[in-house]
Amino acid sequence: MSARSHTAVAGLAPDAERDIETKGESGAPPTHVAIIMDGNGRWAASRGLPRVAGHREGARAVRRAIEAAIEQGVGWLTLYAFSSENWRRPASEILDLTGLLRHYLRTEIAELRANGVRLRVIGDRDRFDPDIRTELLAAERSTAANTRLNLTIALSYGGRDEILAAARVLAAAARDGRLDPAVMEETDFTRGLFTAGMPDPDLVIRTSGEQRLSNFLLWQSAYAELVFQDVLWPDFGAAHLADALAEFARRERRFGARPG
């Protein structure tokens, strides 16, 4: 809640202050929007094209989503591009996807930099080839000073893997006597997540009509509003983002604090 303390009004009793904060929150636009970009394969199949054509068109939709996020005032945008389970796909599709990622990094980073976008990558990047890892690191470093949009791409990302990794770090600290499990707090845990230092998503959008999280930001989405859209990712554009933001604005967020 401290992140929202700017809405507090000086001089009011704490309870009244909290009331104003809560009211401000339900109408506030989302700070962080996360998108599960699904439906590339079905987009291609519906046109009689190979799946790679859907992934290629999906990369164009990524560009549109980033532009739309900037135009629509979204400060944090996280895109689920490749899950830890997606490595189970046929080798030919993995090759197509990593090839597209390589191409994307080589062609888009200059534009991201010019548009004030800061890029972060979350996920198990060690599973990618060394040249891709090098490009990812270079892209993060060269955009690190940008502040217009915080763009995070989830690559080889799995929510359970992430939680397990954080638990391992804490278990080791406890074993070595550096952490007392009895006084361990949420922040001790979240520091070990890939998203350390990032706000939790307020809104999670999934395209393609599927209604599941597929291992995306499991810890972080505890109180996210979920919006499922019947659009295949390659067809996603500014209007879809605007629709999702409008839907978000109609939701009443309670965080468990109030009965209806």
Residues at the interface with Mg ion (CB under 5 A): 38
Residue 34 to residue 28: CA distance in whole angstroms:
16
- The least CB distance from residue 107 to ligand IPE, in Å, is 19
Q: Which is nearer to ligand IPE, 111 or 210 (CB)?
A: 210
Among 22, 31, 146, 214, binds ligand IPE (CB under 6 A): 214
Q: Is 124 assigned a catalytic role?
A: no
Residue 235 to residue 31: CA distance in whole angstroms:
24
81 binds ligand IPE (CB under 6 A): yes
Among 78, 83, 156, 221, binds ligand IPE (CB under 6 A): 83
142 interface partner picked from Mg ion, ligand IPE, none, CB below 5 to 8 A per type: none
Q: Which is nearer to ligand IPE, 17 or 85 (CB)?
A: 85
36 binds ligand IPE (CB under 6 A): yes
Tokens of 146: 């940008």
Q: Which is nearer to ligand IPE, 36 or 198 (CB)?
A: 36
231 interface partner picked from ligand IPE, Mg ion, none, CB below 5 to 8 A per type: none
Q: Which of 86, 146, 188, 235 is catalytic?
A: 86
Q: Cβ contacts of residue 88 below 8 Å, gap of 6+?
A: none
* Block residue for tokens 């007392």: 180
| 8-state DSSP, 78 | E
Taking alpha carbons only, the member of 191, 146, 144, 197 closest to residue 3 is: 197
Is the torsion defined by CA of 36, 132, 64, 51 positive or negative?
negative
One symbol per residue from 93 to 112: x for binding ligand IPE (CB under 6 A), - otherwise; what is it? ----x---------------
Phi, psi of 176 (to 5 degrees): -85, 5
Among 111, 131, 210, 252, binds ligand IPE (CB under 6 A): 210
Site for ligand IPE in 14-33 (CB under 6 A): none
Taking alpha carbons only, the member of 230, 222, 210, 241 closest to residue 79 is: 241
* Block residue for tokens 């490749």: 82
Site for ligand IPE in 226-255 (CB under 6 A): 233
Is the torsion defined by CA of 107, 109, 115, 119 positive or negative?
positive
User: Which residue has the closest beta carbon to ligand IPE?
Assistant: 41
Confirm if 40 and 210 have CB atoms less than 8 A apart. Answer: no
Q: Is 38 assigned a catalytic role?
A: yes
Q: Which amino acid is at 245?
A: L
The residues carrying an active-site annotation are 38, 86
Residues found near ligand IPE in the complex (CB under 6 A) = 36-42, 80-83, 86, 97, 208, 210, 212, 214, 233
